[in-house]
C-alpha cells in the first residue's frame, strides 16, 4: 500500500523535469490557524525561509479556526476532563516557562508571503476544502504543504502540493495514537517517546512516514518532556526538505518507499484526553512510580564501577567478569584501553561526588589481571569524561568529552602514560558528547551525539563528521545527519571494533533510563554520502541482581572491559 501511494504522489506532469535540480528551491506552503504560533513552529518556518533549499510561497490561514492553542496542552472545557486540566495548570506553574511553547507573532516573519484565508467545510472531526479553494492553492505550484493548522484534512487538498501535505504526530504511531502528546509516556515511565513526520493520505491512520525519531522521556513532568520533543521536532521539516532537495526526487522517494515497505499494525485503542476517573487512576499509579524512583536516593546513590575479563577473544559471558570498585566518595566509568608492552592502560572518568566534576584517571593492568592504584592524568576547570584514546602515527591521542567547553578537543600524550596537553580543537561551538573517531578508507570519521537545538537532550541523535586529516583539516558534517535519531542506540559506547573486516559500533541504550544497556551495531555502509548500520546484539544488566545499568564496552588484545552501576548505601 505504501509503495502505491508514494508513487502516485511523486508522479509529475509531462511538462515537469524528471529529476529535481539542486539549484531549484522547493516551493513550500504552510497551513496555520492564526499568526499567533509557538516558538518551535516559528523556528521551523524561520529555518525554511532562510534556507538555500526551499522558499516559503504561501500561507493558508484558517478563517474557521479559533485562536491557536498550545500544541502540548490544548484547552478543554468538558467537565469530565477537569482533573487533567487542573493537573496541567499546576505542572506548568511548578516547571516554569517552556521555550518550545512561548507564544510568537509570525506577522513580521511572514509579511512578504502571499496569504489565502480559507474557511473549510467542517464536520465533527475533519475539515474539507472546497474545489475552488483547492484550485486557488494549486495555482501556487507548491512542492510541499506543511500542516500546522486546521483539523483532520480530507478531500482534494491532500493533492494540492506535488509532494503532498506534511504533518507531525508527536507520539510513536506504532504504539500510541490520539492524545495528549507525551502524557501517557510520562505517566507510564516508558523512558522513550516517538515523533513522526508523514505525508497525509485519504486514510488518516496510514500516512507515508518521511521522518521518524525516538526521543528520551526521562522527566516526571509532561511539560518538560514535551518541551524537549517539540523543540527537537522543529528541525524535522527543514531536514527533510533539505534531503529531498539534495538527493533529488527519484532517490529521495525510492528511499522513503523502502523505509515504508514493512506492514505495521496498530493494536491499541485510539487514545483520548483522560476523563476524571481514568486520570485519578493513572495519577495514583504515577505517584507510586515516583515514590519508588526517588525514595532509594535518600539512602543510596548510583555508583559506577569497572568490570573486566581476560581471554583469547572478546569476552561475551559477563557473569565471569571481575569488578574494580572505586572508593565510596567517587565513581569510575567510561573505560577506554590502550595496549602497549604487555600492559593495559585503562583510562576512565573519575567523578567525585563532593566536587560534582569528573577528570580522567588511569589504571595499569598486566596480563594476569593484576592492576595498579588509580592516578589522575588529565583535569580541566570543566567536567571531563569518556576518554577515547587511539594511536595516530605512533602518537597517543585522547578525545575526552568536553561538553562544558562546547567543543570537541583533542589531547596529545607528552609523557607516556600520564602527561597530556591540549593539542587542537577539532570542532568548536558544538554541544556534543562521547566523540569517537575511526580511520577508515583513508578518511577520518568522527561520531558524536549532538544536542540540537540547544536545550534538548544529548542522548537522542548521533551525528557523523569526516575529514581527510585528523589535525588541520575541516570536519564536514554528513549529509544524512543525524545518522541515528533513536535514544535506544544513538549515543556512542566505546571504540569502534573491527573483526574479520567488519566494523562494529557499540552504542548506549538509554531506554528506560540513561545508562541502561549497550547495543552492538554492524556498520553496513560508511561513505561520505551514505550511512547504515544494523543491531546485532543487546547487552542488558541481567547477570547481576545488584546492577542497574551498563553503558561502555571496549576490547584490546585479550582484555574486554565494561562499566556498570549499582546502588550503594550513603553514609550520613
Domain boundary among 293, 310, 344: 293
Domain boundary among 244, 273, 293: 293
Alpha-carbon span 3 to 19, nearest angstrom: 19
Task: State the residue range of the domain holding 203.
Answer: 2-8+23-293
- Per-residue pLDDT of 230-279, as tens digits, reads 999 999 999 999 999 999 999 999 999 999 998 888 888 889 999 999 99
Q: pTM of the prediction?
A: 0.92
> Does pLDDT of 16 surpass 60?
no
Do 221 and 93 lie in a common domain? Answer: yes
Domain boundary among 247, 262, 293: 293
- Per-residue pLDDT of 511-526, as tens digits, reads 999 999 999 999 999 9
Alpha-carbon span 105 to 216, nearest angstrom: 30
Do 274 and 353 lie in a common domain? Answer: no
Do 427 and 315 lie in a common domain? Answer: yes
Do 211 and 353 lie in a common domain? Answer: no
Alpha-carbon span 424 to 409, nearest angstrom: 6
Residue 542 in domain? no
Instruction: Write the CB contacts of 241 (distance below 8 Å, at least 6 apart in sequence).
Output: 26, 28, 48, 51, 53, 54, 144
Read off the pLDDT band of 18 (50, 70, 90).
Answer: very low
Do 219 and 122 lie in a common domain? Answer: yes
Do 286 and 365 lie in a common domain? Answer: no
The number of CA neighbours under 13 Å toward the Cβ of 56 is 23
Helices 276-294 and 82-95: angle between axes, nearest 10 degrees:
40
Residue 376 in domain? yes
Nearest CA among 27, 33, 25 for reference residue 60: 33
Neighbours of 483 (CB within 10 A): 18
Do 273 and 369 lie in a common domain? Answer: no
CATH code of 263's domain = 3.40.50.170
Do 272 and 306 lie in a common domain? Answer: no
Strand partners, 115: 59
Using an 8 Å Cβ cutoff, are 471 and 451 in contact?
Answer: no
Alpha-carbon span 330 to 350, nearest angstrom: 7
Q: Which of these ranges, 4-13, 44-53, 480-489, 529-538, has the smallest mean pLDDT? A: 4-13
Number of structural domains (the chain) is: 2
Using an 8 Å Cβ cutoff, are 342 and 369 in contact?
Answer: no
Distance between alpha carbon 128 and the CA centroid of its chain, in Å?
Answer: 35
Do 74 and 142 lie in a common domain? Answer: yes
Report the pLDDT averaged over residues 128-132: 91
Question: What pLDDT shows up at residue 1?
Answer: 32
Question: What pLDDT shows up at residue 13?
Answer: 32
CATH code of 396's domain = 2.115.10.20
- Per-residue pLDDT of 423-448, as tens digits, reads 999 999 999 999 999 999 999 999 99
SS (H, E, C) 5-34: HHHHHHCCCCCCCCCCCCCCCEEEEEEECC
Cell of 23: 539549484
Query: What sign results for the dihedral spanned by CA atoms 242, 247, 252, 255?
Result: negative
Amino acid at each position: 500500500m505504501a509503495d502505491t501511494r508514494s508513487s502516485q504522489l511523486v508522479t509529475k506532469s509531462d511538462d515537469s523535469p524528471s529529476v529535481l535540480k539542486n539549484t531549484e528551491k522547493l516551493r513550500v506552503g504552510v497551513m496555520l490557524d492564526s499568526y499567533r504560533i509557538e516558538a518551535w513552529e516559528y523556528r521551523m518556518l524561520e529555518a525554511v525561509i532562510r534556507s538555500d533549499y526551499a522558499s516559503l510561497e504561501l500561507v493558508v490561514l484558517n478563517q474557521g479556526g479559533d485562536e491557536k492553542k498550545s500544541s502540548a496542552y490544548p484547552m478543554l472545557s468538558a467537565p469530565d476532563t477537569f482533573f487533567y486540566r487542573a493537573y496541567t495548570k499546576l505542572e506548568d506553574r511548578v516547571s516554569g516557562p517552556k521555550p518550545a511553547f512561548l507564544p510568537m507573532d509570525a506577522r513580521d516573519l511572514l509579511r512578504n508571503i502571499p496569504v489565502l484565508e480559507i474557511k473549510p467545510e467542517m464536520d465533527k472531526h475533519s475539515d474539507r476544502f472546497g474545489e475552488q479553494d483547492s484550485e486557488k492553492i494549486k495555482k501556487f505550484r507548491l512542492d510541499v504543504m506543511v500542516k500546522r493548522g486546521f483539523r483532520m484534512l480530507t478531500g482534494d487538498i491532500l493533492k494540492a502540493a506535488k509532494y503532498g501535505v506534511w504533518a507531525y504526530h508527536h507520539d510513536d504511531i506504532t504504539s500510541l495514537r490520539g492524545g495528549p502528546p507525551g502524557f501517557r509516556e510520562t505517566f507510564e515511565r516508558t523512558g522513550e517517546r516517538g515523533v513522526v513526520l508523514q505525508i497525509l493520505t485519504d486514510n488518516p491512520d496510514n500516512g507515508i512516514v518521511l521522518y521518524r525519531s525516538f526521543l528520551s522521556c526521562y522527566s516526571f513532568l509532561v511539560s518538560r518532556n514535551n518541551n524537549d520533543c517539540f523543540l527537537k521536532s522543529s528541525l524535522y521539516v527543514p531536514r527533510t526538505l533539505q534531503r529531498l532537495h539534495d538527493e533529488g526526487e527519484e532517490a529521495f522517494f525510492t528511499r522513503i518507499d523502502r523505509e515504508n515497505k514493512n506492514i505495521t499494525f496498530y493494536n491499541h485503542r485510539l487514545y483520548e484526553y483522560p476523563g476524571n476517573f481514568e486520570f485519578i487512576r493513572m495519577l495514583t499509579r504515577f505517584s507510586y512510580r515516583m515514590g519508588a524512583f526517588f525514595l532509594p536516593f535518600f539512602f543510596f546513590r548510583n555508583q559506577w564501577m569497572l568490570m573486566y575479563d581476560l581471554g583469547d577473544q572478546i569476552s561475551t559471558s559477563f557473569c565471569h567478569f571481575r569488578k574494580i570498585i572505586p572508593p565510596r566518595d567517587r565513581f569510575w566509568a567510561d573505560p577506554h584501553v590502550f595496549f602497549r608492552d604487555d600492559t593495559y592502560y585503562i583510562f576512565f572518568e573519575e567523578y567525585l561526588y563532593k566536587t560534582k566534576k569528573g577528570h580522567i584517571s588511569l589504571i595499569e593492568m598486566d596480563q594476569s589481571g593484576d592492576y595498579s592504584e588509580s592516578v589522575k592524568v588529565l583535569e580541566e576547570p570543566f567536567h571531563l569524561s569518556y576518554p577515547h584514546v587511539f594511536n595516530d602515527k605512533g602518537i597517543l591521542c585522547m578525545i575526552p568529552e568536553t561538553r562544558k567547553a562546547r567543543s570537541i578537543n583533542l589531547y596529545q600524550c607528552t609523557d607516556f602514560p600520564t602527561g597530556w596537553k591540549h593539542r587542537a580543537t577539532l570542532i568548536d561551538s558544538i554541544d556534543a558528547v562521547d566523540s569517537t573517531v575511526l580511520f577508515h578508507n583513508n578518511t577520518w570519521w568522527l561520531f558524536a551525539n549532538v544536542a540540537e537545538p540547544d536545550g534538548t537532550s544529548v542522548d537522542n541523535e548521533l551525528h557523523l563528521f569526516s575529514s581527510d586529516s585528523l589535525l588541520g583539516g575541516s570536519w564536514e558534517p554528513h549529509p544524512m545527519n543525524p545518522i541515528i535519531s533513536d535514544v535506544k542506540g544513538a549515543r556512542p559506547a566505546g571504540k569502534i571494533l573491527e573483526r574479520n573486516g567488519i566494523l562494529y559500533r557499540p552504542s548506549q541504550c538509554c531506554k528506560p533510563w540513561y545508562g541502561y544497556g549497550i547495543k552492538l551495531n554492524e556498520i553496513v555502509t560508511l561513505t561520505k554520502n551514505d550511512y547504515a548500520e544494523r543491531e546485532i546484539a543487546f547487552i542488558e544488566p541481567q547477570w547481576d541482581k545488584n546492577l542497574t545499568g551498563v553503558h561502555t564496552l571496549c576490547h584490546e588484545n585479550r582484555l574486554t572491559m565494561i562499566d556498570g552501576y549499582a546502588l550503594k548505601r550513603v553514609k550520613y
